[in-house]
Amino acid sequence: MTNILWPIITMGALGLLFSIGLVLAYKKLRVEEDPRVVKISEVLPQANCGACGYSGCRAFAEAVVKGEASPNGCPVGGGEASEQIADILGVKVEDTAKKVARVLCRGSLEAAKDRGFYTGISTCAAAHLIGGNKQCSFGCLGFGDCARACPFDAIEMGKDGLPVISEEKCTACGICVEECPRDIIELYPVSQDILVFCRSRDKAALSRKFCKNACIACGICVRACPEGIILEDNLAKIADYSKIKEEHIPAIEKCPTKAIGRISQE
Amino acid sequence: MELLAIFISAILINNFVLHYFLGICPFLGVSKKIDSAVSMGLAVTFVMTITAVVSWIINHWILIPKKLEYLQIVSFILVIASLVQLVEMFIRKASPPLYQALGIYLPLITTNCAIMGLALLAVLKEYKFLETVIFGFGSGIGFTLAIVLMAGIREQLELADVPEPLKGAGISLIVAGIMALAFTGFSGMIK
């Protein structure tokens, strides 16, 4: 009997000792927590998948409370979780227009001329350092830094050398926007379907030589809708999308280089 | 002299990660940035040293006199789990950014086999009290060394053009293997 008693006593005593130690330590080292963080953590899926862009559900909850992340930032929890989070925070989930990342360049392999044969490290960041492999110094480099950076696999490099962004998968996290050394990816509301697909500020004579789809600042689109579109630095710019009406669109689409127009729905 | 030999051996020759292949989880998990690798190493060093001390005391003062050696594993787990809780509380209070950086790997020190291995190896090698302390501390430093080296290499790897199938875990494991191979160069340094 004693040989079963001793282990029980020793282990029990040790356990008790350590737990008392921990309780004392907890009293000393307790961190005051925002109760909202705890509550938000509870409604999150606790998958710690990192799809929100934070290191885990807890980190996301903290970011939401701090106001850094939006309550609907958890793609796994979806609408249900975001409503509950909004309840906890006492705000309403605004039906903010969903945004997506758009690639503002149509300088495909075929359209944009190469400057030479690039054999360096095959990332956009590296190619950008030496001015890129294309003649146009504003366009897409085509090495897919954005596709690699995308945590949601929303970006694929198309056969034409340009990234293709899936509207469904894109969460507008903005990582690709930051990753692109040429700043040709930007976030736009999904509903905005007229965009200027060129960033070249070269003079028309040059950009026409460099790329078939470059904006040559001819002004056709500006004449079609002067309130909405302006020319700036040899480049058409959508100054006010709300002024572009359905009736303007056919005239805008007359763009000789297809540098402005509807997003192609492939 | 004996103590120095144990210390050096724990760091270089019988390195926990690169010789015994223990503690691989944090070794791969927290070795992306040197900063967090250093903090992880220090946290593990702390837990290892204290574990070595406490487990020696429990083993020699309680378990051996009562002939309860078969409870070693259970009681060591108890020690490790409590210590990690303590470290976690302390880090959370002292440095929230570090707490963030270590993330899930901090509570996972509990299940870090390097620490359990240390407690059991110290028993197996029949170390005396001071030797156990040095062994624990040295092993912690050895772990820190390995994880920091790994983090340094992986920071460079970020810039390298790694073949597609080997990206991420693949290249990390290859690097770890080569490091372990390199560390066998130290074997035989101390008899």
Contact list in A for residue B119 (CB cut-off 8 A) is none
Q: Is residue A241 part of a domain?
A: yes
Pairing of β A235-238 and β A229-232 = antiparallel
B58–A contact, CB cutoff 8 A? yes
0.90 exceeded by the pTM? Answer: no
What span, in angstroms and rounded, lies between the C-alpha atoms of B166 and A146? 20
pLDDT in tens, A59-118: 888 888 887 887 777 777 777 777 888 888 877 655 556 778 899 998 888 888 888 888
Question: Are A186 and A197 contained in the same domain?
Answer: no
User: In this predicted structure, what is the pLDDT of residue A96?
Assistant: 55
**Pick among A2, A29, A37, A48 to test the B interface (most B CBs inside 10 A):** A29
Q: How many residues does this entry show for chain B?
A: 191
Contact list in A for residue B93 (CB cut-off 8 A) is 29-31
Provide CB contacts within 8 A for A192, sequence distance 6+: A241
pLDDT in tens, A42-65: 888 877 777 777 777 888 888 888
Contact, A128 vs A182, CB < 8 A?
Answer: yes
Contact list in A for residue B163 (CB cut-off 8 A) is none
- Residue A50: give its domain's CATH number: 1.10.15.40
pLDDT in tens, B21-58: 898 888 888 888 888 888 889 888 988 998 999 999 99
Question: Are A181 and A111 contained in the same domain?
Answer: yes
Q: Is residue A114 part of a domain?
A: yes
Residue A170, judged by CB atoms within 10 A of its CB (0-12, 13-18, 19+), counts as buried
B78 contacts A14? CB cut-off 8 A: yes
Q: How many residues does this entry show for chain A?
A: 266
What span, in angstroms and rounded, lies between the C-alpha atoms of B173 and B38? 20
What span, in angstroms and rounded, lies between the C-alpha atoms of B131 and B53? 10
Provide CB contacts within 8 A for A50, sequence distance 6+: A56, A151
Question: Are A130 and A58 contained in the same domain?
Answer: no
What span, in angstroms and rounded, lies between the C-alpha atoms of A112 and A207? 10
Contact list in B for residue A14 (CB cut-off 8 A) is 58, 62, 75, 78
What span, in angstroms and rounded, lies between the C-alpha atoms of A88 and A35? 10
Among A159, A191, A223, the domain boundary falls at A191
> What is the least distance, in Å, from the CA of B32 to any CA of chain A?
14
A14 contacts B66? CB cut-off 8 A: no
C-alpha A21, offset from chain centre: 47
> What is the least distance, in Å, from the CA of B147 to any CA of chain A?
20
Mean pLDDT of B72-94: 87
Among A130, A162, A191, the domain boundary falls at A191
Query: Which amino acid type is present at position A1?
Result: M
Question: Comparing C-alpha atoms, which of B94, B112, B100, B85 is closest to residue B36?
Answer: B100
Contact, B190 vs B13, CB < 8 A?
Answer: yes
A14 contacts B161? CB cut-off 8 A: no
Question: Comparing C-alpha atoms, which of B125, B93, B4, B102 is closest to residue B44?
Answer: B102
- CB interface of A with B, residues 21-80, below 8 Å: 21-22, 25-26, 29-31, 48, 55-56, 59
How many separate domains does chain A show?
A: 3
A11 contacts B78? CB cut-off 8 A: yes
Q: Is residue A266 part of a domain?
A: yes
Nearest to B71 among A11, A25, A121 (CB): A11
Contact, B139 vs B10, CB < 8 A?
Answer: yes
Question: Are A105 and A178 contained in the same domain?
Answer: yes
A21 contacts B89? CB cut-off 8 A: no
What span, in angstroms and rounded, lies between the C-alpha atoms of B83 and B94? 16
DSSP 8-state class, residue A5: H
Quickly state the pLDDT bin for B129 (edges 50, 70, 90). Answer: very high
Placement of tokens 């970011």 in the chain: A63
What span, in angstroms and rounded, lies between the C-alpha atoms of A56 and A37? 13
Question: Are A106 and A172 contained in the same domain?
Answer: yes
pLDDT in tens, B91-126: 888 877 777 777 777 887 887 888 999 999 999 988
Q: Which domain holds residue A219?
A: 192-266
Helix (H, G, I), strand (E, B) or coil at A262: strand
- Residue A262: give its domain's CATH number: 3.30.70.20
Mean pLDDT of B78-90: 88
Question: Are A50 and A126 contained in the same domain?
Answer: no
B158–A contact, CB cutoff 8 A? no
Question: Are A169 and A230 contained in the same domain?
Answer: no
What span, in angstroms and rounded, lies between the C-alpha atoms of B68 and A260? 81
Q: Is residue A12 part of a domain?
A: no
Q: Is residue A21 part of a domain?
A: no
B111: number of Cβ within 10 Å: 14
**What would the two tokens of residue A4 be?**
């079963």
Is pLDDT of B4 > 80? Answer: yes
Q: Is residue A58 part of a domain?
A: yes
Q: Nearest-CA residue of chain B relative to A24?
A: B86
Q: What is the mean pLDDT of chain A?
A: 84
Among A164, A191, A218, the domain boundary falls at A191
Q: Is residue A28 part of a domain?
A: no
A68: number of Cβ within 10 Å: 11
Question: Are A62 and A137 contained in the same domain?
Answer: no
Q: In Å, what is the CA distance from B106 to each residue of A32, B44, B110, B111?
A: 20, 9, 8, 10
Helices B113-124, B72-94: inter-axial angle, 10-degree rounding: 130
Contact, A182 vs A139, CB < 8 A?
Answer: yes
pLDDT in tens, B152-167: 999 888 888 888 888 8
A169: number of Cβ within 10 Å: 14
Q: Nearest-CA residue of chain A relative to B89?
A: A29
Query: Which amino acid type is present at position A193?
Result: D
Provide CB contacts within 8 A for B78, sequence distance 6+: A11, A14, A15, A18
